[in-house]
Structure 1
Amino acid sequence: MVSKTLSRVRLSREERYAQLVETAWKIIDEEGTEALTLGHLAEQSGVTKPVVYDHFTNRSGLFATLYQEFDRRQTALMDDAIQKAKPELEALASVIATSYIECVLLQGREMPSVIAALAGTPELEKIRNDYAVIFTEKCRKIFAPFCGKNGISDAALWAMLGAAEGLSYATACGAITAAQAKDELFHIIISMVQRSF
């Protein structure tokens, strides 16, 4: 009988990180968030536990990293779409609404599970707050040319973000369609801008 041994592939730190993140998403997709432990990730990635701990420190750190990766992808997709859009209110509102919802759908049902796994942790609170500030300020700048002299209020921007998160969650869970979510978010954005006058 021939013994099978896994040969470990030597990767750079960046390549190993990318491999671990990809494997983590695969585990969540196939087995759920409960199955994603650092030990299981190490086993599925063909590395030792210390390698995984070196990258993520603990389970919350791993989930925080997955959230940040999602955020980076979402930002890149949205920025690309904004660059290609006509500099008109309706076009930009459509881009923001579509990009926000589609990015959540691109990640599928895994993203709500990651957020649930991080619920109540300091890591998630900091990451979400940082993202919220960046996103709301981006929207303030994008829509400034279409607003009244006082611009969009902070409360209106936070309400729009809350709506975007709620609609994304409802879409990912199948409560509403993506088209419904995009349309509703589009109208919320238009209304937010119009109320600035």
Structure 2
Amino acid sequence: MKTMSAPSAPSPRRRLPKEARLRQLLDVSWKLIRDEGTDALTLGRLAEAAGISKPVVYDHFGARNGLLAALYQDFDVRQTAIIDAAVAASKPTLKDKAGVIAKSYIDCVLTQGREIPGVLAALNGSPEIAAVKRQYQLAFIEKCQKIFAPFASPRTVPPASLWAMLGAADSLSHAAVAGEITEAQAREELFQTILNMVKRTR
């Protein structure tokens, strides 16, 4: 599977184009969370770690919530690309589709390590930022609805079942990150959850 690791941060001493600077700031943010925890991530601390002035960081994110939302979006974009590629390359069977989604979802969270659960927890603390998370959740559920429609009867999986599947995916991946279950156990349980979800519609 492709790695979720972001490219190395550019040198903070150079004047960078806006997009390159954003990439650098996101990379430095992930490292700060990994090394010091989500609570330590502030715009001021990010500016210090990136070797740039605070106004530059505020120009990109506006406030800490904007930074957290950007981090979640960064993770989701990479996760979506990996899952989409895995689904496209898989065989057109329920087991194959369920298998690649389970593996890709768990692997992506594990690759990001303990950083993403902290970001997700922080996102839940603000209604505005929780709305960002909800947007990506809905997109994932819609994607799964389309993927599994050919195997369901009558060509649909109930939304409640898809939300339950997503909750299981998050819980299992975070338990694997914490070391409470193994990576293989998380994948297998999510795989079986998806299979059972679709089979119940028949």
Instruction: Give the TM bin, normalised by the shorter chain.
Output: over 0.9
Verify: 1:139 aligned to 2:144, yes or no.
yes
Output the TM-score relative to the length of structure 1. Answer: 0.93
Task: Report deviation, 1:139.
Answer: 0.7
- Residue-by-residue CA offset, 1:4-23 (whole Å, 9 max, x unaligned): xx983110000000000001
Instruction: Give the secondary-structure state (helix, strand or coil) at the position aligned to 1:164.
Output: helix
Q: Which segments of structure 1 move beyond 3 Å, counting only runs of 4 or more?
A: none
Q: Say what the alpha-carbon RMSD is for the aligned residues.
A: 1.4
Aligned residue number for residue 68 of structure 1:
73
Task: Report deviation, 1:119.
Answer: 2.5
Task: Report deviation, 1:150.
Answer: 5.0
Verify: 1:51 aligned to 2:56, yes or no.
yes
Q: Give the letter aligned to residue 162 of structure 1.
A: G
CA contact (8 A) 1:146 1:193 kept: yes
Task: Report deviation, 1:56.
Answer: 0.6
Distance 2:144 2:123 in 1: 26
- Residue-by-residue CA offset, 1:61-88 (whole Å, 9 max, x unaligned): 1111111111111101100111110111
Distance 2:12 2:61 in 1: 23
- Residue-by-residue CA offset, 1:26-68 (whole Å, 9 max, x unaligned): 1111122222111111111111100000001111111111111
Verify: 1:185 aligned to 2:153, yes or no.
no
1:159–1:7: structure 2 CA closer, same or farther, 3 Å change rule? Answer: closer
Give 5+ residue unaligned stretches, structure 2. Answer: 1-10
CA contact (8 A) 1:101 1:168 kept: yes
Distance 1:115 1:184 in 2: 22
- Residue-by-residue CA offset, 1:139-189 (whole Å, 9 max, x unaligned): 111111111115211111111111111111111111111111110110111
141-150 or 98-107, larger mean C-alpha shift: 141-150
Verify: 1:172 aligned to 2:195, yes or no.
no
Distance 1:117 1:125 in 2: 9
CA contact (8 A) 1:160 1:188 kept: yes
Task: Report deviation, 1:101.
Answer: 0.4
Verify: 1:163 aligned to 2:168, yes or no.
yes
Q: Percent identity?
A: 55
CA contact (8 A) 2:149 2:155 kept: no
Aligned residue number for residue 108 of structure 2:
103
Task: Report deviation, 1:129.
Answer: 1.1
Aligned residue number for residue 3 of structure 1:
none
Instruction: Give the secondary-structure state (helix, strand or coil) at the position aligned to 1:148.
Output: coil
Instruction: Give the secondary-structure state (helix, strand or coil) at the position aligned to 1:9.
Output: coil
Output the TM-score relative to the length of structure 2. Answer: 0.91
